Chains A and B, each alone.
Chain A
Amino acid sequence: MKQLYEPIMGIEIHVELNTKTKMFCRCSADYFGKEPNSHTCPVCLGLPGALPIINEEAITKCMQIGLALNCSVETNGSYFERKNYFYPDLPKGYQISQLVRPLNINGWLDVENREGNVTRIRINRAHQEEDTGKLTHIDGQTLIDYSRSCVPLVEIVTEPDFHDSSAVRDYAKKLQQIFRDIGVSNADMEKGDMRLEANVSVRPVGQTELPPYRVELKNINSFNFMVQAIEYEIKRQVEELEQGRTITQETRGWNENKKETYLQRSKEEAHDYRYFPEPDLPELQVDTSNVERIRLQMPELSINKMNRFMEEYGLTKQIAATLVSQGLMKLFEETVKVGGDVKAVANLLVNRKVDPGSSAKQIFEQIQNKGIGVIVDMGEIEKLAKEVIDENPKVVEDYRSGKETAIQFLIGCVMRKSKGKADAGRARAILEKFLKG
């Protein structure tokens, strides 16, 4: 009988924090799109004699991430270490990071797939470190921008709890939502705010111990490419094992054109990072009361909000999820607060029967005036829209000269003329058609 194999994977995610200043110096951390090397100083350039200082805002945000991932925050002297290796984007010749006593350990995150099955992913650690400079290769030359050097970076490492590529995508997307919910990062993959690495191995089905190797997939800058790379890699590894070959520890990248992974660094070339405690920095002083204060100040996570909506308002999971994913939770809660009927408000919002730019009061009036019934007669809305356009030449001109938000005002006028009965989505579509036509 043919041997079956199953993949086993762990994920490392790096996320850049959106702090005001950098991790270990006073330079602005808002470097993206700015003049190269404009956000630098002796510290982030690694000049002789310069020393790091710790950014408290970053440490707070790192703890927020830990708490959102159900980690324990280290209150017994978490400290920084030096990770020593040479690369031209690393000005000091070492990265200040954490190995032995990271700030957050032993967390978990429940990830749900499309079928509604929940997998609990164990989080090994979420530690604080610093970003490197950015290399650009042009015409055989390499340019270095140190503005990114020393920007705070948090690394989140899972246990090997993934068995398929879609779970990796679900996990990464969920983390991205969490970073945005708690406001620690914009988590924009294209800008490099968030970077994924996967450790992929396969083992015979039924085997419980970990395989004696792992292949690290690195430098992959989108969720889709990561899924493709993992799938390719699983297939490649199974084929290797079926051929009776051994797979060794190595690092591989993703070739988008050929749709295949390629060898970047073999085991023999692996670094010995020679970690040791960073002598320039004191231990972090974090106590239980700091942690509790941060826990209390944490914004509500979307996932918790969704669960709360289901419990508190009796909404179905689908409706709650739609409200959360469309970012309509706030509007929903406000409308209910001013007196809107829960079901009516939810339906109106979820079925896009209302313009997202409306206020809670407008939506409430809309419900009051005509139950949840709305005008869907295109002819009637067109008539009102023409009137509104004729009456507001200045706003129309603003819109046409590029101020797209001006349309909100016009939609509001149509809604008022219809006494709140017009379908706002249709009103917008009709207005846009007239204004652009």
Chain B
Amino acid sequence: MNITNLTLVETIKALEEKQFSLEELNRVYLERIKKHNSELNVYLTINESSNGLPAAIKDTIITKGIKTTAASKILENFIPPYDATVISKLHEQGVSALGKTNHDEFAMGGSGENSAFGPTKNPWDKTKVPGGSSSGSAAAVAADLAVFALGSDTGGSIRQPASLTGIVGLKPSYGRVSRYGLIAMASSFDQIGPMTKSVEDAALVLDWISGSDGYDSNCSSDKFTLQPLRLQAGIKGLRVGVPKEYFGEGLDVKVKEVVETAIKKLEDLGAEIVEISLPHSQYALAAYYIIVPSEVSSNMARYTGIRYGTGRENLGKEVMRRIMLGTFSLSSGYYDAYFTKAAKVRTLIKRDFDGVFKKCDVIVGPVSPTTAWNLGEKINDPLTMYLQDIYTISANLAGIPGLSVPAGFVEGLPVGLQILGKQFDEETVLKVGFAYEQATQWRKEKPKL
């Protein structure tokens, strides 16, 4: 049996059946990490004493006693004195951190290349990026270097790398999962979510980490509970919206074909396809890159090097860029023209979704306009890099859930299908993802390392 090939649900079953022990499970994963980590640069810290269900944790998530760097030189040696709420919740389920994964510094980036500790490589092609910002968590799951991973998603940082590495990634609704202990990038956007080998695994991890938390005022008491029968109920008669704005200029023709084939598959499974329009989508990117840097500029102010960490000269270029953009947008004389206006656009985008969800139950489309690109290809062109987020950021602006499921390949590189749902309706999103996953075999494809 290939232990590291198993999904989380399969691993739990095998442990229950005593096919192997937790010690063996951890040993096998640690051995595999030792073999492949240096070529892929997935883990920044490896926890040799992991003894539970071994999970890869993005290094923006605070772990008590385990170095947490935010992939930045400014926190290079920071060992937190407390655990994030999601970590405490996972401990209760017998999960342990196998290691802390690489990502773009402070989660700012879409390729993984902004890490202060070097880029992560895409397991499908080591000359390509794995996407970002949750690059290491995506690569860890794709390369079977963890049973599952946690990532965080502010504008697509779970879904886009999931798409580019052929795994399942779920950004939950804003407020579904506690953010206490997530190193903040943009507080009104950030969500922690599962990155897994199957849709059912994603549902199970969401069940574990969601629910109220007395340490996060914006966290809902509405806990997600995995109900396998409802997950497996099928999608006959379900209305699937396809927004015309997500298939226009900029979308790679071959990626488009893969997504259209996936939509056809949903129709074959009994879904009703509805053409819809999200007219304010064209302003989403502009609004996002005003509000997010504004919050970033304030959230980054605590890193002074006075009480912990090193000096601000150690921050990377992209982090500096966003601090500057946000400081400008919030400045007296510019605030109304930038921040206030962007906040109004955000409201319009939310209304677009509210209107559309009267006509359909989920929205589907591409996750990323292209497949994984070459390392270094876009690193000096921030605007092109920002455009890679075009299909994912709206979900963060509106606070709705979004899932990426493997939907095929273009020239050997994975392509994901994005499924968006109403706020707090992860169940329907996962049900569609599950039906699609069962009807296709994409998730069983593995990269050759």
Contacts and interface: CB of A to CB of B under 8 A. Distances in A.
Contacts of A52: 217
A280 B299 CA distance: 11
Nearest to A25: B215
B43 interface: no
A48 B61 CA distance: 9
B298 A93 contact: yes
Contacts of B308: 47
Contact of A280 (B82, B214, B218): B218
Interface in A261-298: 272, 274-276, 279-282
Contacts of B330: 84, 274-276
Contact of B215 (A53, A54, A272): A53
Interface in B43-67: 61-62
Contact of B80 (A49, A82, A276, A282): A49
Given A50-B181, A53-B215, A280-B184, 6 more contacts: A48-B62, A48-B78, A48-B303, A84-B330, A276-B298, A282-B217
A46 interface: yes
Contacts of B307: 45-46, 91
Given A48-B75, A276-B294, A280-B218, A88 B306 contact: yes
Contacts, number: 89
A42 interface: yes
B180 A49 contact: yes
A82 B298 contact: yes
A210 interface: no
A86 B304 contact: yes
B406 to A, nearest CB: 31
Interface in B167-191: 179-184, 186-188
B425 to A, nearest CB: 21
Contacts of A409: none
20 contacts: A42-B81, A42-B82, A46-B302, A48-B78, A48-B183, A49-B62, A49-B181, A50-B180, A50-B181, A51-B217, A54-B217, A84-B297, A93-B304, A272-B331, A272-B332, A274-B298, A274-B327, A275-B330, A279-B187, A280-B187
B68 interface: yes
Interface residues of A, number: 27
A92 interface: yes
Contacts of B434: none
A279 B301 contact: no
B222 interface: no
Given A91-B307, A93-B301, A53 B217 contact: yes
B301 A84 contact: yes
Contacts of B186: 279
Interface string B281-301: 000000000000011011011
Contacts of A5: none
Contacts of A281: 217-218
A275 B96 CA distance: 40
A282 B332 CA distance: 24
B302 A48 contact: yes
Interface residues of B, number: 42
A223 interface: no
Interface in A1-59: 42, 45-54
A213 interface: no
B420 to A, nearest CB: 22
B57 to A, nearest CB: 13
B31 interface: no
B61 to A, nearest CB: 8
B70 interface: yes
Task: Choose among B68, B302, B306, B308 the residue with the greatest number of A CB atoms under 10 Å from its CB.
Answer: B302
Contacts of B297: 84, 274
B424 interface: no
Contacts of B303: 48
A130 B81 CA distance: 24
Contacts of A93: 298, 300-302, 304
B84 interface: yes
Contacts of B62: 48-49
A282 B220 CA distance: 11
A84 B295 CA distance: 11
B216 interface: yes
A282 B182 CA distance: 18
Contacts of B306: 88
A82 B180 CA distance: 18
A399 interface: no
